[in-house]
Structure 1
Amino acid sequence: MTILIIDDNVEVRLSIAYFLEDQGFDVIEAESPDIAKQLLSVKAISLILLDMNFTRDTTSGDEGLSFLSWLHTRSKPPAVICLTGWGSVSLAVQALQLGACDFIEKPWQNEELLASIQQQQTLSQRQGSRLADCQAEMSSTVENQRTYDWQSPIMRSFEAKLARIAKTDATILLCGESGVGKSHVVEGLHSQSLRASGPLVSVNVGALSASLFESELFGHVKGAFTDAKATRDGRFTIADGGTLFLDEIATLSLPLQAKLLRVLESGEYEVLGSSETLRSDVRVICATNANLNALVEQGAFRNDLLYRINTFVFELPPLRQRKEDIAPFAQYLLERHAIRYQMIAKPFSQEVVAALLRYPWPGNIRELSHVMERALLMSEGDQIELHDCQLRLARPVAGHSTHHDALNSQQQTLADIEKAAISKVLSEENGVVDSSAKRLGISKSSLYRRLDKYGLKNES
């Protein structure tokens, strides 16, 4: 069980860490919620111990509540035990409403803290056992469910090209707008390759800070840096004999590009904190939604690294160019969600089919999947109706009045409007995060956080 301590007081963190490590737990530390968010993007955390106050003030708990709100938007968030020296009934209630499982005031008693952690550990084990039982019951259904065969000529041609090089170890660069399904293509390439029996390891390098890059990709030994409490294998080591998928490759800074280039050229790397040179036996597949040639011209991406990763370049077409696939693939996704939720899949009304074909799909396959999931859960009739789908970015039908448009805008939440604006800009910028962030007036890291928040970047 890995526990993340989020507290700006180093003495508090050390005190809790020493105690919990003596109890057999793995412990990592973060001095702020922002650092914790980075760690959560690259590490599997079982439980969080969260201080409620940081830089803004010492009593309100607003920063802790804000972090809980953010965590609540993530898929399968870890359990959270809140710690504060300025507790109140109101703050405790708000924290519990946002998903915290316990609320402990400082100074804490080690026995009380340990009992709360062990209780959450027991609950997690029980939930895992129930999940395993459900998965076992559904395994035959899931394994035997039909796979989707692309109908559009553009995708059939695309798959035929991939099949010819799948069994080689050639480096592949996948390009295309955000959400077109690059990660699914990687899974297909790996399963058809001679490395199919080895691991498939995926890394979103866009989510890695410069300080975590080497540790995540190459690993570290105990004591290599402040929080290195134990030796940890990097992704190149874990993927040995298999496939390593590096997503959002264009987001790497030039210094990090140089470190990656070395291992791609020579196959050699060193674990952080060690002088021993190791060799990598992995097939590397990279993906991006940016124009790497333009970035090379701008001096933002190394030309030699581009040559190293683009032995074969494949551009995945956006969903709007696969008209023959939109309706049947939507039905396929609906059936997949029906299996997941143990519900019955329903047919589409003719109005829905027409709307799906008209819609521009700026979020591509990812957006279509979310729309189908929502439609399945919202539908109350014998078939999926248009109002179940909630296509918020659909172009207004000719003849609709300005008053009607204004009314629709008033019914949208601020989050809906922000999500729509981000999707629109991303579509107009062909999914390029850098230029999209500039148009929106925010940093790239802020845009990445919003993409994660609104589910616009869960797949590649």
Structure 2
Amino acid sequence: MAHSILIVDDEERLLDVLGGMLEGLGYQVLAAASAPDALVQLGRETVDLVLTDLRMPGMSGRDLLAEIRRLHPILPVVVMTAFTTLRDAVQMIKEGAFDYIGKPIEFDELEAAVANALRLHDALRDNDRLHRELEGRHRLDGVVGTSPRMQDVLKAVTEVAASRTTVLVTGESGTGKEVIARAIHFNSPRQRRPFVAVNSAAIPEPLLESEFFGHVKGSFTGATANRAGRFAQADGGTLFLDEIGDMPLALQAKILRVLQERQFEPVGGSQTRHVDVRIIAATNRDLKRMVAEGTFREDLFYRLAVFPIGLPPLRERASDIPLFLKRFAEEIGPQVGRRDVRFSPEAEALLMRYDWPGNIRELQNCVERSLISSHGNSIGVEDLPPYVTQRPAAPRDAAAFPIDLDAALDEFERTRIVAALRESGGVQVEAAKLLGINERSLWHRIKKHGIVVARVVAA
């Protein structure tokens, strides 16, 4: 669609001439003989650029610019002026005009000024649209869940979002901890500042300190230039520390210092940098147990757990599964060429009975696979993955009491890891994908349970 340009000038002859020039370049042209008339048209028409005279009777071009800046902040304005008022035109640029062109108007100069201004407008409009989409995606009403457990989570997010309080989000892998962290950030006063996420388990240990704090050129082999770390990148915004339980003890001490003093030094540097960063940490591990075992610093734990938010696993919020099915089908469907697809009541009921060890991430993968396998506008039981249809759902309330819960959970985790390793033929990268965790996290768990990994996995 052609760009629309509003020309504002009290000389009728010039309006006709400029209109003819711009229409010849393929633009849609609107005309106004005064600044008040221009404001009326801006209120009822979509305009991509305003081309206005500076000197007009009554309301001047400068006054019009001020109103446009107030009512339409990203709409570019190009000023037309005689050379005798060049100083005024320069001043208007300081006040927000994009450019000026001198009278009499030269065609080439007009064409270049208009093209440059419209490129700016397109970029600003796209940026504004993307920002609104990003905010919309992370609004509280964008967090899926109406179950009582999730209502408690949403209440906690609402309570803490406006503050700069440190938050610790806990929950099993795949429960949506980063989604909650982003919801906190995008509903806080820091929403227009950076949200920087870093996964402690996904970064090789020798590079962790540089990743967080940056480094100066020559500080170690491969440091060929200065590099800003994640704390510097998040200055003024939020730093999300995912998998905080996998962070080595030595780095934990340095993170604690930043939390206490809001300052750090890059690797190999001596200059202290001060930062204003809100910390949201997340883990699927039992940090209290790690503190007792000496693998996580107690002082850091209490610094992080100022406002804890625990996310329930999907099996404990089964009533939310139909909402996720609808959301994922709408999001993923167009990507795989399937639109307006719904799950049948039978398929939905079966999915609600499944125990979802991989939580929301596993459910999302299930929806994508079902969309690809199915035909028509309905996904039936026959279209669901075999691991859902051929495996009995987890028994509810079937355990005899009393039980050793920690031992039961360890055995459950060990069994699932062994099963995934067998399924993948001992390939840990593939097993980690099946379990919905990263390879480093899987390695720690294999070590913890003493599992022998080979092409044939030993239990």
With the shorter chain as reference, the TM-score category is 0.5 to 0.7
Q: Is the 8 A contact 1:177 1:432 kept in 2?
A: no
- TM-score, structure 1 as length reference: 0.58
Whether 1:372 and 2:398 are equivalent positions in the alignment is: no
Measure how far apart 1:260 and its partner are.
1.3
- Residue deviations 1:65-122, cap 9 Å, x none? xxxxxxxxxxxxxxxxxxxxxxxxxxxxxxxxxxxxxxxxxxxxxxxxxxxxxxxxxx
What residue in structure 1 maps to residue 154 of structure 2? Answer: 159
Which deviates further from its counterpart, 297-306 or 338-347? 338-347
Q: Give the total of aligned pairs.
A: 294
Query: 1:361-400 to 2 correspondence within 5 Å?
Result: 361-392=356-387, 396=391
Partner letter of residue 295 of structure 1? M
Deviation readout 1:313-369 (Å, 9 max, x if unpaired):
111000111121012211211111124345313111222112101110000000011
Greater relative CO (CA pairs within 8 A, separation 6+): 1
Q: Give the aligned CA root-mean-square deviation in angstroms.
A: 3.5
Aligned with 2:424 (options 409, 415, 421): 415
1:10-41 per-residue CA deviation (whole Å, 9 max, x = no partner) reads: xxxxxxxxxxxxxxxxxxxxxxxxxxxxxxxx
Q: 1:294 Cα shift?
A: 0.5
Letter of the aligned partner of 1:439 in structure 2? H
Retained in 2: the 8 A contact 1:351–1:385? Answer: yes
1:154 and 1:321 map into 2 onto residues whose CA distance is 8
Aligned to 2:325: 330
What are the Cα deviations for residues 396-419 of structure 1, in whole angstroms up to 9, with x where unaligned?
A: 459xxxxxxxxxxxxx99428989
Displacement of 1:252 after TM fit?
A: 1.3
What is the SS of the residue equivalent to 2:308? Answer: strand
**Which residue is 2:194 aligned to?**
199
Whole-angstrom distance in 2 between the partners of 1:160 and 1:324:
18
Q: Is the 8 A contact 1:249 1:286 kept in 2?
A: yes
Question: 1:139 offset after TM fit, Å?
Answer: 7.0
Report the Cα distance in structure 2 between the residues aligned to 1:142 and 1:340, rounded to whole angstroms. 18
Report the counterpart of residue 210 of structure 1 in structure 2.
Answer: 205
Amino acid in structure 2 at the alignment position of 1:359: Y
> What is residue 347 of structure 1 aligned with on the other side?
342
Contact 2:321 2:352 in 1 (8 A): yes
- Does residue 288 of the first structure (1) align with residue 297 of the second (2)? no
Check whether the contact 1:360–1:394 (CA below 8 A) recurs between aligned residues.
no
1:139 and 1:195 map into 2 onto residues whose CA distance is 17
Alpha-carbon distance between aligned partners in 2 of 1:393 and 1:377, rounded to the nearest angstrom: 16
- Shift in Å at residue 222 of structure 1? 1.1
Counterpart CA distance in 1 for 2:144 and 2:262 is 37
1:438 paired to 2:433? no
Q: Quick one: distance in 2 between partners of 1:215 and 1:394?
A: 47
Partner of 2:255: 260
Match of 2:354 in 1: 359
CA contact (8 A) 1:345 1:376 kept: no
SS at match of 2:169: strand
Q: Distance in 2 between matches of 1:345 and 1:426?
A: 28
Question: SS of 2:372's equivalent?
Answer: helix
Q: Which runs of 5+ in 1 are unaligned?
A: 1-131, 399-411, 447-460
Partner residue in 1 for 2:239: 244
Q: What is the TM-score when the length of structure 2 is the normalising length?
A: 0.58
Instruction: Give a deviation string over 1:162-181, Cα, whole Å, max 9, x none.
Output: 10111100000010000000
Contact 1:195 1:241 in 2 (8 A): yes
Q: CA deviation at 1:208?
A: 2.1
Quick check: 2:210–2:267 contact (8 Å CA) kept in 1? yes
User: In structure 1, which of residues 279, 283, 299 is the aligned counterpart of residue 274 of structure 2?
Assistant: 279
| Other-structure match for 1:75 | none
| Map 1:97-176 → 2, pairs under 5 A | 147=142, 149-176=144-171
The alpha carbon displacement at 1:442 in A equals 6.0
**More divergent stretch after superposition (281-290 vs 374-383):** 374-383
Query: After superposition, what is the alpha-carbon deviation per residue over 1:238-265, rounded to whole angstroms, capped at 9, x for unaligned?
Result: 0000000000011112111112111111
Contact between 2:424 and 2:431, CA under 8 Å: does it hold in 1?
Answer: no
The match for 2:315 is 320
The secondary structure found in structure 2 opposite 1:232 is coil
Cα contact 1:425–1:436 (8 A) shared by 2: no
Q: What SS does the aligned partner of 2:319 have?
A: helix
**Residues 281, 142 of structure 1: CA spacing in aligned structure 2 closer, same or farther, 3 A cutoff?**
closer
Q: 2 CA distance for matches of 1:279 and 1:140?
A: 28
Q: In 1, are the aligned partners of 2:354 and 2:392 still within 8 Å (CA)?
A: no
Instruction: Give 1:437 deviation, angstroms.
Output: 4.7
Separation in 2, partners of 1:391, 1:218: 46
Contact 1:319–1:364 (8 Å) recurs in 2: yes
Could you report, residue by residue, the CA deviation over 1:109-147 in whole angstroms, capped at 9, with x for unpaired residues?
xxxxxxxxxxxxxxxxxxxxxxx9xx99x9799778994
C-alpha distance in 2 between matches for 1:165 and 1:340: 35
After superposition, the Cα gap between the structure-2 partners of 1:236 and 1:359, relative to the gap in structure 1 and judged at 3 Å, is: same
Q: Which structure has the bigger radius of gyration?
A: 2
Q: Tell me how far apart the structure 1 counterparts of residues 222 and 195 of structure 2 sit (CA, whole Å).
A: 27
Identity of aligned residues (%): 39
Question: Relative to structure 1, is the Cα distance of residues 342 and 356 closer, same or farther in structure 2, using a 3 angstrom cutoff?
Answer: same
Q: Give the Cα–Cα distance (whole angstroms) in 2 for the partners of residues 230 and 282 of structure 1.
A: 24
Change (3 A) 1:350 1:284: same
Tell me how far 1:395 sits from its aligned partner.
Answer: 6.1
- Conserved in 1, the CA contact under 8 Å of 2:144 and 2:323? no
Q: Distance in 2 between matches of 1:303 and 1:394?
A: 44
- Tell me how far apart the structure 2 counterparts of residues 248 and 148 of structure 1 sit (CA, whole Å): 21
Equivalent AA in structure 1 for residue 387 of structure 2: R
Q: 1:346 to 1:425 in 2, by over 3 A?
A: closer
Q: Assess, with a 3 A threshold, how the Cα gap between structure 1 residues 171 and 432 changes in structure 2: closer, same or farther.
A: farther
- Distance in 2, matches of 1:252 and 1:141, equals 34
Contact 1:362 1:423 in 2 (8 A): no
